[in-house]
Each structure stands twice: as structure tokens, then as C-alpha cells.
Structure 1
Amino acid sequence: MALVASGGGHTSFAVALAERLLDLEPGLEIEVVAPAGDTNTLRRLASRLRGRGVRVSTSPKPLHPQERLYRVLTRAPHALVKASALARGVDALVCTGSNHSVPPSLAALARGVPVFCVEDPYRVFEKSRSVGLLHGLGAYALLQWGEQLRLYRSRGFYVGLIYERPVYKPERGGYVLVTTGTMGHRLLFRTIARGGLRGYRLVIQAGKYWAEYLKRRLPGSVVFDYDPDIDRWIAGADLVITHQGIAAIQASQAYGKPVVIAFNPDIPLAGGREGAEFVARKLNLGYLTPDPGDPSQLDRVVEETLSKRPAAFGDGAARASKVVLDFVKGVGRRAA
């Protein structure tokens, strides 16, 4: 079994599925494929899957965020060679989205290996590019909302929300956690720097571009670029502020935390405004598009959200793992 962990939220999906697959089938041979050179993903995989017998390998990512398209031409041949070797030794492959998942999935499909792609929970009104492409070529789609079935009328399985199991006991640590992934959040960070959330103790995971900026402007706050054990910070937060990403799902579902989704228009591949509003509404979360010109807007939404209890959904990772294992054993294939 191979799981492609393509960084960020894609890695979170892979970890969640690896955990549940091993619960259902102890001793299952699992290889997790991370992007070459992605130290954050490798640290996260080591933090969550150490001691469970999971093999971790790497393959080139054809295109990184903010890179020009021509870079695909230089990396794609190597990625396809690596993917072809991987596909020879697996009986199923799970892709978690991103262009990094495409070469291994194509190689597996070419060899007749069943491929399952996790669709983004924020892609409710249109397919994500990678999953849509691979589904059109014969892959199965693992869907996190029933509403996504209209996008995938064939070879689509509604499984529910896919998130990692909690590793810490939730508590109220007296701080608000702001976490926005590798790329950060321009509007949100400028809103905070201009006085938003001044009355709160802040812990900020700022990403590789914004950590120094925030450290200079918020000397009393805890600011860091990345922590592979972000769950420790989530578990202790009174409230979590994040963008349209997996952290909103993890914090609300695994830890029951009130969450504010601060929509980030600078990362369109993470889903549009409609998708972010949909997730916030379904999960009973706070929602806004931060405005640096009106920092008080952020404070109002946080105050309103602190008293909200997130809506709880079932364990989609467990259901998705059962779908994949049934296919490997031939049960699901006959049913389909």
C-alpha cells in the first residue's frame, strides 16, 4: 500500500489514513511518499508515524507553490521514473491531491493498480485539478462531504471528514492559536500587526515568510515558522484561527475547539470563498475575510466564536481506510 503525502494538509490526510489502515490491518506494509526536500513533511511524518513500521520515501514534486510552469518540464521525467518503480510494488495507491500525487497515480493506473484520491473538503462546488484529472483517467474519489457526490457521479465514495486522531487531551491554555501553513496569510497577519487581537495572548505559527515580521511587531507573543507537533498547540488553545485548510478540520473535529476560518484570497488552489463559507457553516465555525483597515472586525468574530461549539462529524479516515482495504481484498471491487 502506498500513500502519497504531498505536504501541508495533504500530508495530514496521509497520516490520518495510515493511522486508521494500521488499526484495521495491523502489520500492513505501508510506504508513504513525501516530496523530495520537504523537511517539514518529513518531520511531521516522523513525529506522527514513528514506531509503526511505516516506510517513508521521497519523490520529486513537479511544481512548487509560486513557481513557473516550465519547472514541470525539468522535474517530470525524474518524477515519472521514480513513480514507475513505486507502482511495481503496491496493490493500491492513495493520492492526497497536489501535483506531487499525479506521477505516482499515473504510473499506478497504467499498471492496473487501483488509485484512490482524497478530494479537498473545500472543493464542494468544483473539482480540484489533480483529483479531477486522475478521476477522469479511472481513479476513485474519496469524498468528505455528501454534496461532493454531484461532482463525482461515478467512482466516488462519500466517507466523511478525514483528520488525524488526537494525541493530546484538550484543555484551555489561555491563548489563541493562529496557524496558517507554510505560505502564511498576508491579510490576517497585517490585521493582527495593526492591532487586531490586542487583548489576547497569541501563539502564531507564521510560515517561512512571515515569522520575523511578526516577531518584530508582536514582541509579547509566541511566534514560530513551523512545529511538526502543532497538535500540542491546538490542544491547548482556547480558540484557533486558521485559513481554508486542514487545521480547521483537525482543531474542530479532533479537539473540539472553536475555530475561525480567516479566508485567504492569496491561495486560490486551496478552494474559493464559497467552499470556505460552506465548511464554516457546516461545522459551526466563525468566518471572515480579514481587513487590515478594520482590525476590530477580527476581534468581533473571535468574541462571537468563543461561545460556539463546533458541529461534530464521524471518522471519515476510518471509513475511507475500509473502502481501500475492501478493494485490495476484492470486496469493494466486486461491489463497484
Structure 2
Amino acid sequence: MKDKRILLLAGGGGHTGYIYALAERLWTYTKDYDVNLVFAVPEGDWLSEERLQVFGHVFRLPKGRTKPTESGVRFVYRMAKAFLKSRKIVKDVDLIIAGGSNFCIPPSLMGYLKGIPLITIESPVRFTKPGKAVRLLRPFSELTVIWWNMQKEIHPDAEVYPLIPMPKRFGKIPKGHIFITAGSIGSYEFLHSVSALDLENVYMQIGRLDMPLTAVQEKGWNVFRFEAGLDKFIAGARAVITHLGFTAVEARLTYRKPTVIVYDKKTLFTEKDAELFAEHVGAVLVKEPEPKKIMEALDEAEDMPIPKVTDGAYLLAKRIVTEF
């Protein structure tokens, strides 16, 4: 019997995080159900490629907008190029799973034109309005996946499958530290605030940002830009300070770490989104990124209850291999 070929679209950052969570569950079915996983990631995103290639072949596609400030001309050019390249990638595919972001639009629509079923995944942070890519792809989708029941207010016909990654076991890893992560893009306001914290034994991931590191290096902090998997830094941490995104899901719901989310007013998400997301993952939200408030939040996070969340990745993977 012909293998069921599933194409998973990972747009980088948190989008790759929850595609990874679903892929590791689907991978357990590859032999019993003749499932073959393939992936597409943005060109130049070696982090996503390195993480996902353990499950299957990884294609590279142009991403329409790689920076919020890029011109519309560049966006249109890259999207057109992505549509052309998508024709080859969706060939012989039986199902497409889109993990959000504009990156997913060309291969998803190209697949739809070829009659390939589509599953679209919304961000766990969206509560007040849908993501643009998900809103565009929803009419073409067999299934729209959300994380929380409250998200039905923006996606009434969607189904709830929280895509929580499985915890990993590590050998020798850093332990007992505070892990601070600004995400793949990063935020100057966030990093300047956390850099002023009076903490020892800190690992800090700063992403793409160029910023003076003398102050934190004098404190003995371990600073790095990127790592293919942040899991080991989360797993060994005594607490995590992070931005508004998927890392908070991993820190709190996968590794059960006291978690502080620092809100950035320049983010695409509203303050209400931030409040509801923090509530759903069991994290403490800091709305004003002041060092004193972040330190108080660290203490408060120690006593926060951990929400009980369904293993949506397992349930969705099982449904995919048996129904689609």
C-alpha cells in the first residue's frame, strides 16, 4: 500500500515549535500506518531544519516577509517565488498541515488547487482576533486547530488540540539557572529590562538583536543568540523568563517550570491576548517590563498552579493517521 505522505509547514520560531510537537507524535505512527513525513521551512532557517530533519526530508521555501519593516515589493516577489516552488513540494502529498504565518500560504493554496486536504493550526496566543494567515486559509481547511476552548470565539468551527511537546531526557545539561529567552526575533525593551536584573547563574538567549553585552557578561551570565533546541536550557532551569510565545508553553506545560512572561507593547498581540495566554498556561504576566516587577513575578511564579491540559498532539496525530 502507498505511504500516506504528510507535508508539515513550519514557519520558524513558535510555529516550528508546535509543528515539532505534532511531528514527534506522528512519527510514532510511521510504521504501523505507513506514514511518511516531509517538511517545508523558510529559506535560511537552519534552526527549524535541524530540528525537523530527524523526522523526514526538509524542503526550503522563500518566506514572504522575514522582517516586519520589509517593503511590500519584496513581500510580493518572495510570495510569487514561493508559489512557483510550492508546485514541486506538494507533488504526491496526501495531506498538508500549516503551522501558521504567511510562509504557509503558497504551499497550502497550491495544495488546495490539487485537491489536497489542509489542516491549519492557530497560535496559542490568539484570543481577540485570528492570525492573518489562518483567517485566509480557514475557508480552504478541512480542520482548523485551536489550543483552548476560549479561542472558539474567533474560530467557532475549530477543534481544540493543545499541541504540547513531550518532555525530553537529557544527559549533562546546565542546571539550577534562570533561563531568559527573547525568542528568534527578540525585543530590545525586553532585553534591556532583564539585563538589569540582579541575578546570578543565568542563561540568556537574545536572538537576532545586536546589543551591548558587557553588563551581563560582567555578571557572569551565559549569553547566546540561537540554539537548535532550547529544551535543555528549559529542562534544567529553576525558572524561565520569556516573551509572549510558544516557549512559555514548553516551559510551563511540558517542563513544569515557574514561568514569567514579559509583555512587549510592540508585539502583534494585544494586552488582552497576553492576559488570557498567561492564564491558560499558568504563567505570571508582567505588563510593564521593569526589573523590580520582573523580580516580584519570579517569586509569584513559584506558587502558581499548573493547568491540566489535554494531550492534544497525541489525539490529533491519531486522528490524522486514521481519518485523513
Q: TM-score, normalised by structure 2?
A: 0.90
1:34-71 CA deviation, whole Å, 9 max, x = no partner? Answer: 1112122223324xx2xx4x111111111112222221
1:301-325 CA deviation, whole Å, 9 max, x = no partner? Answer: 1111123342231211112223322
Confirm or deny that 1:318 pairs with 2:314: yes
Confirm or deny that 1:20 pairs with 2:22: no
Q: Where does 1:1-336 land on structure 2 (aligned, <5 Å)?
A: 1-26=6-31, 27-46=34-53, 49=54, 52=55, 54-66=56-68, 67-154=70-157, 156-159=158-161, 161-168=162-169, 173-193=175-195, 195-196=196-197, 198-210=198-210, 212-219=211-218, 220-268=220-268, 271-291=269-289, 294-328=290-324
1:117-136 CA deviation, whole Å, 9 max, x = no partner? Answer: 11011112211100011003
CA contact (8 A) 1:172 1:238 kept: no
Residue-pair matches, total: 314
Letter in 2 for 1:228: A
Identity, in percent, stands at 26
CA contact (8 A) 1:257 1:309 kept: no
Q: Distance in 2 between matches of 1:98 and 1:81?
A: 18
Q: TM-score, normalised by structure 1?
A: 0.87
Structure 1 position 172, deviation (Å): 9.1
Instruction: Identify which range, 94-103 or 163-172, moves more after superposition.
Output: 163-172
Q: Distance in 2 between matches of 1:138 and 1:10?
A: 18
Q: Distance in 1 between matches of 2:58 and 2:137?
A: 23
Structure 1 position 221, deviation (Å): 0.2
Q: Distance in 2 between matches of 1:62 and 1:234?
A: 31
Letter in 2 for 1:19: E
Letter in 1 for 2:17: S
Structure 1 position 18, deviation (Å): 1.2
Q: Distance in 2 between matches of 1:103 and 1:139?
A: 17
Letter in 2 for 1:203: Y
Residue 17 of structure 1 aligns to a residue whose secondary structure is helix
Q: Distance in 1 between matches of 2:212 and 2:128?
A: 35
Provide closer, same or farther for how the CA distance between residues 150 and 289 of structure 1 changes in structure 2, counting only shifts above 3 A: closer
Q: Distance in 2 between matches of 1:5 and 1:272?
A: 24
Structure 1 position 216, deviation (Å): 4.5
Structure 1 runs of 4+ with >4 Å offset = 169-172
Over aligned residue pairs, what C-alpha RMSD do you find? 2.0
Letter in 1 for 2:306: P
| Structure with more helix by fraction | 1
Residue 239 of structure 1 aligns to a residue whose secondary structure is strand
CA contact (8 A) 2:21 2:313 kept: yes
